[in-house]
Amino acid sequence: MTNLGTLGGTGSDARAINNNGQCAGGAWNANNVQSHACLYTGTSNVDLGTLGGTRSEAFGINDQCEVVGRASISGINPFHAFLNTGGIMMDIGTLGGLQSFAYGVNNSSEVVGGADLPNGIEHAFLFSEGTLQDLTPGLLLSSRAYAINNRHKIVGYITSGEQHAFIFQNGTNTDLNDVIDPNSGWLLEVATGINEKGQIVGVGTHPVYTLRAFLLTPVLWVQITSRSGSVSIQFTGQPNVGYMIEYRNSLSTGTWQTLVVLDPLGVEHQVVFNDTLVAGRQARFYRVRAI
């Protein structure tokens, strides 16, 4: 355990870490007068400053050491979301309202968080290439984005009577409660993180009506079709994941035999594998698993 220290005051917190071991959070300065966002580089704490006010705090960091969070623009508040690159703090702005907060950033410098509309309602946003985009336009209630991975998939929550965890991908918002077993008894309320494999963590109401952390792991959908002279196995391969296609002659017994091992690729890709039919061969049952 390493003590990350402070900026001269008596307290600090760490909220995020990148793959290089650099940490981002907040710390009090001397005499505990101001609390500023800070970057722990591995050897020292760097004060990232504010947007003109007295308070700031960091919530996310990417592998380029870009830091995001919130910073006051005058006095203690209001706060605006910021992106700090190379020690320069950029005001991301709002969606026309008073405040905004940035919670996540990926290695493409895309930032997500929540920002106020002119009517004071907070909406999830994506900040990319200088443009602030409302991820839930037309929504009459609130939303917020907490995380974005390097495949541009965003998670957070949407309020529509009650909070529901959501994922934003390919221009579409999907309620995560719509893609799990409807008989599970879960209500997924807030999604707080997503990794490169598409696994999502968050908080929901467990079937026994108590709050619990959840982990969602994507299901690999495999399409198997019989064609003239072969059986075609198709699925969407995820970035940086290898796969093994296997078969056996019984659905419930026997040893799975390897047909092919597919090495990981760095991008999402379509996989089509054809197993040639042989006269007199037993029927085969197939499976695909990540390795």
pLDDT per residue over 121-180, tens digit each?
Answer: 999 999 999 999 999 999 999 999 999 999 899 999 999 889 999 999 989 999 999 999
Question: Span 208-216, mean pLDDT?
Answer: 91
Quick one: which of 144, 127, 146, 124 has its CA closest to 135? 124
- The answer to whether 52 touches 67, Cβ cutoff 8 Å, is no
Burial of 265 (0-12, 13-18, 19+ CB in 10 A): middle
Domains of the chain by residue range: 8-216, 223-290
pLDDT of residue 219: 83
Q: Report which residue type is found at 66.
A: E
Distance CA 195, CA 203 (A): 16
Rounded CA separation 13/5 (Å): 9
pLDDT score of 267 more than 90:
no
Q: Which residue has the tokens 């064609």?
A: 227
| pTM of the predicted protein model | 0.83
Does the pLDDT of residue 209 top 80, yes or no?
no
Of 168, 170, 151, 189, the closest CA to residue 113 belongs to: 168
> Is the pLDDT assigned to residue 195 strictly greater than 80?
yes
When the candidates are 2.120.10.30, 2.60.40.420, 3.40.50.2300, 3.40.50.300, the CATH number that belongs to 8-216 is 2.120.10.30
Per-residue model confidence (pLDDT) at position 291: 85
Q: What share of the chain is helix, strand, coil (3-state, %, to 5)?
A: 0, 55, 45
- pLDDT tops 90 at residue 230: yes
Indicate left, alpha or beta for 101 from its phi (over 0: left) and psi (-120 to 50: alpha): beta
CB count within 10 Å of CB 169 equals 15
Per-residue b or e along 236-261, where b marks 16 or more CB atoms closer than 10 Å to that residue's CB? ebbbebebebbbbeeeeeeeeeebee
Q: State how far the Cα of 200 lies from the Cα of 198, in Å rounded to an integer.
A: 6
Tell me what the mean pLDDT of segment 56-71 comes to. 98
> How many CA within 13 A on the CB side of residue 26?
16
CA distances from 201 to 62, 156, 173, 216, 241 (A): 19, 10, 17, 6, 19
Of residues 286, 243, 231, the one with CA closest to residue 268: 243
pLDDT tens for 232-263 read 999 998 878 899 999 999 988 999 999 999 99
Q: Which CATH number fits domain 223-290: 2.150.10, 2.30.30, 2.60.40, 3.30.70?
A: 2.60.40
Closest by CA to 231, choosing from 182, 275, 192, is: 275
Query: What distance in Å separates the CA atoms of residue 147 and residue 60, rounded to the nearest whole number?
Result: 9
In angstroms and rounded to an integer, the radius of gyration of the C-alpha atoms of the chain is 23
Chain mean pLDDT for the chain: 94
Give the pair of three-digit tokens for residue 76.
Answer: 């203690």
- Nearest to 36, CA basis, from 15, 10, 61, 12: 12
Q: Is the dihedral of CA 109, 110, 113, 117 positive or negative?
A: positive
